[in-house]
Structure formats: C-alpha cells, structure tokens
Structure 1
C-alpha cells in the first residue's frame, strides 16, 4: 500500500531503537525498523517523536493582559480582583485575538490538545465562551480544544451565574469547572457543579485548595461527591498547592484517597510558584504540589500552563516542556526516570485526564505527531528541546528547523 509520508529513524518513548513511521491518508499505517516503501521522507536521525503535548489547564480568555491590570502585592486575591475589573471591558473580538495569539504560541511549542477554562458570570456573560468556541473552530486544523466553563468569582454568592453556566453547557461546553474557594458556600458550590455535570453528562475540572494551609481541604468534599455520583475518572482539580505543605505520611493518605475516588490532579508550576507565599520577606515556600509522588500511588497527574501574561502569571511562552523542566527544578528531580515521568505529565498523563481517544503512536492512530530535537524524553525535559515540526492528520502544522552553527570558513579554504 503506497504511503504519503515516512518519518525515517524516529525514536519513540519507551521503545528500543529508532523506527520508521509510515503515514497514509492522515493515519499511521506502518511502524518498522526500516520501511522499504517509497514516499516523501523526513529524516529524523534518532530524534524523539511524540503524539504531541497536552495542556490540560489554560485560560485563553484572560491571556495577554499586559498593561491592563496594575498589581502591587502579587497575591491571588489581587490577581482575581484585577482581572475581574478588566474583564468588564472585554469584547468577543478582544478575547478572540488574545486567545489566538496564545493558541499559536502553544501550537508552535508542540501542543496539539488543550483544555481551556473560560469564565462565565453576569459581568462577562457568554462573551468568553463564544469567542473561545470560535477559536476552537478556527484552529481545529492544528489543535483539539476542550472548553470548560466555570465561575471564577463564585456561584451561590453570584446570582445569575448558574443560569449562564447551564446555557453554556447546553450550547456545547465540553465540561464544567468550579472554584469553591471563591464562594460563600464552598461545599454548596461543589454540590451544584456535580448536579450540573450529571444533568449534561459531562466531566468536571475544579480550581481547588489554592493556598498553603493544609489543615483543611475542599479536596475531601470533591472526593466524597465523586464517589457519591459515580463520577470516578471524570473529575480533576487544578493547583492543590496545599499538598506542598503535607508531610510524607499525610500526602500518602491523600494519594490513596484520590486514587480510590478516581480524582485527577493538575499542578500549574509557573502560577503556583508566582502566587504562593507572596508578601513573605524570607523563606518563601515553593507552593508546587509534589504530583510525581501522587502519580506513583496511582493518581493521574498532569502539569499545565494555566495563565499567560496576566496578573496570575505575568510571563509565559506556552511551552509545556518548560513547565516540565520548571517542575523538575522546583521538586529537585534529576534522574532519567524522574525526568521521563515529568515528560509523561505533559503528554500521556494529561491525555488520560482529558479522556482523549487515539492518543498514541500506533498503527491505525491519527498522525498527530510532534518531533523534538532530543534523543529521549529525559533529554527533552532537561534541555528544553526545541519542537522541530508538528503533524495533524499527517499534514504539517508548524516547522522550526534545528538551529545550525555558521562556522567561519578558514582563510586558506576561501583562497581556493
């Protein structure tokens, strides 16, 4: 059977020796040490090929707000207030343009699946949902986008928000989120979010336990409601910075609880580092949950971007490899196995968290692939390896040729 494209001598994570990958009609149709077929070829010379990076938690609707928000303390409370004030002036076109800028950065960094959280409340209405839904359609040639609508400023304490969330779910939102710490009745909000999820048969993704006081956790109520509703494997929670303050034995107990309930976790290293401990003059805590420890206990754990160029995170290039590298630095992970686990938390683990079909390099799978300038996942994380190109259904979505040194030509050679 003729092929459209062959990736020659590609390295696949966890597999010995380079292989050729044959692609036809947008699908992977052959994988072998050497394919004798004739087709257009790309020589990889042992470089790593992955199904692509998966960003399980980002906010496209409030990205790139530089110059619009003035912050002085760098706290979570200040960031929420600053963006709440700014979003009153958002338009759909404004959200679309800022979201497009961010999406394109992510695509160029090798991300080809993404879950974005979108704020819904009486101030912003459904502007963010409509703008991001338009982005989903416009960029489907390069990336699959899930939309999670959620109430950033509360639910039970914010009349009109629940009706808007229900309208968005009826209008095509993929899942619903919650933010209990912003509500006057956190447990009540969690219960209502589960009720809406059951009504529409959709998954849930919370912003949760975003502080450094481990004496109490909303995670307990989320686990309880997950088990009560039989929603195991369909619930995730982001941030959970409280977990960074737990001693090993208490962390192990939380891990067992999460694994049994089927609740996944996402750490947002850039945001969590930036906001946690703000205002302290010394011994500032890192505030990043040690998710690799929970992953070892069977919890599905991912690393993600969260915010880009706004008061929550005033920097960012949408590189998930950078998030994996940052996490490894903060959690002092340096072994090849540990770095490989970090790579998994921006690829296969978030794919499981988002319940993605076809996320694999296997015969019959869609040819959604990214090539990296590294020999294996550990090297990719350690060196922040550049993504060289990406494919969706076998078609190129971006390219970035490997950097080359331009050595000077010796004088003797010039004379000849």
Structure 2
C-alpha cells in the first residue's frame, strides 16, 4: 500500500447503481448532492471527477464488530484449532506478553486492509487486560484512531470480563473508549455481570455493545438485556446471538418482539461463529449464525461483521465486507440485497452513523466495485475498488491480470495403415 493525500471528489461519472441504472453522481463536500442519468448535467462543485464506467457503487462498508487488538496474531500465537474456550485460553496466555507498539502495528495493518476493501467505519472491541497494565490495547487503538482520522471513523468498545474491576472500565472510558462492552453469558453469574455492565454504561452515560448468547445452548442473557434497556436513550447492540439460531420459531418470535421493543441492534458474525461453534457435534454440525432473516422480518435492526481476523478466534478472514455478505448468502440464506444491506446501511444504522450511499442528502461514504451487478459484486468481490470517505478519495485499488494467450497448434493425425491380406 502506498500513502497519498485524500482527494476531494466533485463527481462520479458512468457508475452503476444496484438497481442497474447507470448514473452520474455529484458530491458537495461530505454529502451526495445529486444522482442523475449518465450524461446529464451536474451542478458544479469543487473537486475532481472520477470516471467509474464498469463499476457498481453502494454505501461504503461498515464493520460493526471487530477486534483490532487481537487481529493477525495467529502466527505469533500458533493456537490449537478449536472452540471458543480454546480460543480464549490461547489469547489470554498471549495477552500477558502484549506490547503496545506491536499491537498498534497489527491493528493498523488490519484497518488499512479494511479501508482498501471499502470499509470506512469500524467499531472495534478492545480487551481490558489482567495484570499491572490493563490498558495496553486501549492506548494502541486510541493511537490508531488518531492516526487514521480523516481516512476512516473508528469507535472503541471496552471489552472486560466479570473479574475486571469497574475502575478499569472507568480508566478506559477516560482514556478515550466510547462504549461499554463485555460477554456476560460467559460469567459464572451471567445476569449479575449483565446488570453490572448496564449500570456502568448508565453511570457513564455511554452506549452498550455486548457479546450476547455466544453459544448454541446455555445462558439466556439477551431477553434480560432487552428488558433492562427498553426506553434508554443510548445506542445498544448485541453481537453473536448464535443461540437464537437454535430456538424454535415461536420462542424466537417472542424474543424478537422484546429485542425490537428495546431497539437493540443484532450483529451476526458469520465467519467467526462458523469456525468457533459446533466442534462437539459429531454430525449435523449447526451453522451457528444469528438468524438475521427472521429477525429482520420481525422488525429488528440487523447488521453483520467479520469479527476476528487471523487470530485464535478465526484463523482466516479477508478484511472485506463482501466476504461477510457472501457468507450471509450461502450460509445465512439471505438474498444478496439483504446481505449487502447488513454490511453497509444496516451496519451504519446499528452503529448510530449517518445514512450513507448514492442517495441525495446522504453522507458521501461510498465504495465502487468493478462489477456488472450487485450479485456479481458479492459473488466475485473484485479487488478493483474506489473508496470515498466523507466525499474524499481515501483508497483506490487497481488490479492488473495477464493471461497467457492460447496458441493454435497444428493437429497431427495418424493415417490408417493399409489393410493387408494374411
């Protein structure tokens, strides 16, 4: 990756919308000003014009649930393959050796890969560590957010277990973390830890983003979470929610009503949960993805993210919202349009970000992908991409492919041997 200054963009020419229409788009600063049929006059604004013939444009990707402090640690840790418990044990053993600059380097590399794919907003959890310096990861990610200001928006969530003191949460929030997070379903007393985290967020008047019901069976914390935050004025989200994939339809419908009433956004994380869940199943291995289609139909706000990238919780990952969308289609049974919405406008919605996309009045956070259609973009995920954040060109990837030409070779035929009499 090479570094260049962001460039203000006045217009995009010849770009295709997901509807199939080919249009020109005028931008005015960080806002989409006009969308007109290709070749029509556009209002004059300041900036450069990009010819995007052959590209499809959508709202930029948004990553609603990342772990940048853990990302790309797989090679250093060399963890065993396995379930959530093994992943936690592997990470905690490594975390005692964590270095702030090394953490920053891994996190920066992952964030820039996300930016190149078209993700301009990231909400990342950061572990509150055990030991004498619990804020190593917090300091690293605050530095990263400052470094990348103007290129992408980064929001931080303090991720602390039940043994992390309230004072450490307070110190993280004082250091610049934005929201309270945790995984109460993993605590010995899940409801007590849930109540503590909610009380922390209320006392500090910040939002909540909780890992919730991250197992196929076990503690039911999501219903209690919903009842506790109904009517609250701060953003609240629930990540993972894989237990919901195992619920009978009638039970899920009742829970969905409570989630909708509480205005909790549900974030599915297909790649990590496909990896972590189901290791104990000898057959009929469950997919373990929060049932976004049914939740969406019930009026729940939904989104999806990649979660972990090449760390003990997920050994793979491409830092690409189109990878997440593809998994939602093939493993989550969403239509491509719904899958794309979950990783763009839906993700921005649950993150509390302004509406973005190729719509007049929307924030000019856009990604253009070389593709003939939305299905083409999700299926092939071309790396040819142009990324705009607040109306400025912040990343462009151009792929060059050379394929050897077929050479016509002379055909040699064997003539039949003359018949001979014996």
Q: TM-score, normalised by structure 2?
A: 0.87
Name the structure 1 match of 2:222: 219
Name the structure 1 match of 2:398: 401
Pair 1:83-2:91 in alignment: yes
CA contact (8 A) 1:61 1:99 kept: yes
**Shift in CA distance, 342/142, structure 1 to aligned 2, threshold 3 Å:** same
Name the structure 2 match of 1:267: 268
Deviation at 1:66, TM superposition (A): 2.2
**Shift in CA distance, 72/405, structure 1 to aligned 2, threshold 3 Å:** closer
SS in 1 for 2:343: coil
Name the structure 1 match of 2:51: 43
In 2: Cα distance, 1:376 partner to 1:248 partner: 34
Q: 2:11 aligns with which of 6, 13, 28?
A: 6
CA contact (8 A) 1:232 1:261 kept: no
Pair 1:238-2:244 in alignment: no
CA contact (8 A) 2:213 2:242 kept: yes
Pair 1:141-2:146 in alignment: no
In 2: Cα distance, 1:367 partner to 1:297 partner: 30
Name the structure 2 match of 1:414: none
Deviations 1:113-155 (A, max 9, x none): 110000113335111111101100111232100001121xx22
Give the superposed CA RMSD: 2.4
Q: TM-score, normalised by structure 1?
A: 0.88
Q: List aligned pairs for 1:242-261, cutoff 5 A.
A: 242-261=243-262
Name the structure 2 match of 1:102: 110
In 1: Cα distance, 2:89 partner to 2:254 partner: 35
**Shift in CA distance, 4/243, structure 1 to aligned 2, threshold 3 Å:** closer
**Shift in CA distance, 312/26, structure 1 to aligned 2, threshold 3 Å:** same
CA contact (8 A) 2:60 2:357 kept: no
CA contact (8 A) 2:345 2:355 kept: no
In 2: Cα distance, 1:332 partner to 1:368 partner: 27
Deviation at 1:43, TM superposition (A): 2.1
Deviation at 1:111, TM superposition (A): 0.4
Q: 1:172 aligns with which of 169, 176, 199?
A: 176
CA contact (8 A) 1:73 1:278 kept: no
**Shift in CA distance, 283/361, structure 1 to aligned 2, threshold 3 Å:** same
Gaps of 5+ in 2: 1-7, 409-422
Name the structure 2 match of 1:346: 343
Gaps of 5+ in 1: 412-416
Deviation at 1:98, TM superposition (A): 0.7
Matched pairs, number: 396
In 1: Cα distance, 2:319 partner to 2:86 partner: 23
Deviations 1:156-175 (A, max 9, x none): xx1x5321111111232111
In 2: Cα distance, 1:319 partner to 1:250 partner: 34
Q: List aligned pairs for 1:122-137, cutoff 5 A.
A: 122-123=130-131, 125-137=134-146
Q: List aligned pairs for 1:4-403, cutoff 5 A.
A: 5-13=10-18, 17-33=21-37, 34-35=40-41, 40-45=48-53, 47-72=55-80, 74-123=82-131, 125-151=134-160, 154-155=161-162, 158=163, 161-213=165-217, 216-227=219-230, 230-231=231-232, 234-333=235-334, 338-401=335-398, 403=400
Deviations 1:307-335 (A, max 9, x none): 111110011111111011012111344xx
